[in-house]
Structure 1
Amino acid sequence: MTDISARIQQEITLDQQLALHTAATRLAAEFDGIYGTETIKRFLHSSYDQFATAASIPNYLPLLAERFARQRLRALARVEGHHRDGRPVVLFLCTHNAGRSQMALGFFVHLAGDHAVAWSGGSEPGIEINPSAIAAMAERGIDISEEFPKPWTDEVVRAADVVVTMGCGDACPVFPGTRYENWDIDDPAGLSVADVRPIRDEIERRVRRLLDELDVPATR
């Protein structure tokens, strides 16, 4: 255990410990027959560590850790062949995972429904989703306010059929055999809702085109 991880473990409150225990129980039931308790706990606690050094709302940490661990375990199950349902998997990456990649994820999930899977991540995850991005997406009836900035992990990248990068440059991970696209789109950080709208609309156009290329019918 690293010094940072050891300090984080010492600072976990009793309520957080109970919440993590409950999360581990839920994940163990969800992945029963695929991954054992030790693997579940390792992914859960490493996911917790990812957020504990930066998160500003400690009470949400166990929930964020559970959501991120679930995504990582689902990705690992795909990589290892435990779960293959034929649906394409797309990963959207940008620098802070707070604007462009979150809007792309929002459009993709909204339009693809259950016909495809999408995740997002950042090379330097921010603290919260860009408020202007949230407002601009809400104008289209898409709520991304419950999303959260997060890093990418090897299993998440390896599970993707398509990796779309937006501004993370050389920091973006590269794995052989994976399709990569780079979308040259302005960063909405610090912009007003009015200035984010053209960025949002460009992202929607590109997401719709990607869905068409993947033969995934847009549900809206």
Structure 2
Amino acid sequence: MTAATAKKPSVLFVCVHNAGRSQMAAAFLTALSQGAVEVRSAGSQPAEKVNPAAVEAMAELGIDMSAEIPKVLTTEAVRESDVVITMGCGDTCPIFPGKRYEDWELEDPAGQGVESVRPIRDDIKTRIEGLIASLGELK
């Protein structure tokens, strides 16, 4: 298989509401990987809308999440992903053999202002940079 036909690695971010942490992680991975990674995010109990403080915190770094919508976690999304990163969804995430699973312990930004969301955002960015470096192993 040549580099041009190689399958892109795919990553699924999962949290309870798919409104803050998983949305920020997906947005960072999309932006920082420059399209080299297929990115998904979902929640076990999706909120009605993305956390406005998370949208504002990401906009400060030039990443627009304003059009994102929380999505429900499906078995198919897990099955189709190479890496599944959970953020406090507990046992609601289906497990499939052969997938790489990571659990990132991050504070939940729900109900917090942008000042409290910034450190969470910055932690996620650092983790995404490490994730991108490790995804080379999947190619």
Same fold (TM over 0.5): yes
Equivalent residue number for residue 180 of structure 1 = 101
Equivalent residue number for residue 110 of structure 2 = 189
Equivalent residue number for residue 199 of structure 1 = 120
Within the candidate set 23, 27, 37, 1:102 is matched to 23
Question: Would you tell me which structure has more helix in proportion to its own residues?
Answer: 1
SS at match of 1:91: strand
Within the candidate set 14, 20, 44, 1:123 is matched to 44
Distance, in Å, in 2 between the alignment partners of 1:136 and 1:118 is 20
Distance, in Å, in 1 between the alignment partners of 2:62 and 2:35 is 18
Deviation at 1:203, TM superposition (A): 0.3
Within the candidate set 73, 77, 91, 1:170 is matched to 91
The residue identity in structure 2 corresponding to 1:160 is S
SS at match of 2:107: coil
Bigger Rg, which one: 1
Number of residue pairs the alignment of both structures matches: 133
Deviation at 1:172, TM superposition (A): 1.4
SS at match of 1:215: helix
Distance, in Å, in 1 between the alignment partners of 2:52 and 2:6 is 35
SS at match of 1:90: strand
SS at match of 1:214: helix
The residue identity in structure 2 corresponding to 1:154 is T
Post-superposition Cα deviations, 1:134-158, rounded to whole Å, max 9, x if no partner, equal 0000000000111100112121110
Post-superposition Cα deviations, 1:22-45, rounded to whole Å, max 9, x if no partner, equal xxxxxxxxxxxxxxxxxxxxxxxx
Report the TM-score, using the length of structure 1 for normalisation: 0.59
Deviation at 1:85, TM superposition (A): 4.1
Equivalent residue number for residue 214 of structure 1 = 135
Consecutive unaligned residues in structure 1, runs of 5 or more: 1-83
Identity across matched positions, percent:
53
The residue identity in structure 2 corresponding to 1:120 is S
Consecutive unaligned residues in structure 2, runs of 5 or more: none
Post-superposition Cα deviations, 1:41-85, rounded to whole Å, max 9, x if no partner, equal xxxxxxxxxxxxxxxxxxxxxxxxxxxxxxxxxxxxxxxxxxx74
SS at match of 1:121: strand
Equivalent residue number for residue 157 of structure 1 = 78
Report the TM-score, using the length of structure 2 for normalisation: 0.93
The residue identity in structure 2 corresponding to 1:142 is I
Q: Which has the higher contact order (CA 8 A, sep 6+)?
A: 2
Equivalent residue number for residue 134 of structure 1 = 55
RMSD: 1.2
Distance, in Å, in 2 between the alignment partners of 1:99 and 1:207 is 15
* 2:33 aligned with 1:112: yes
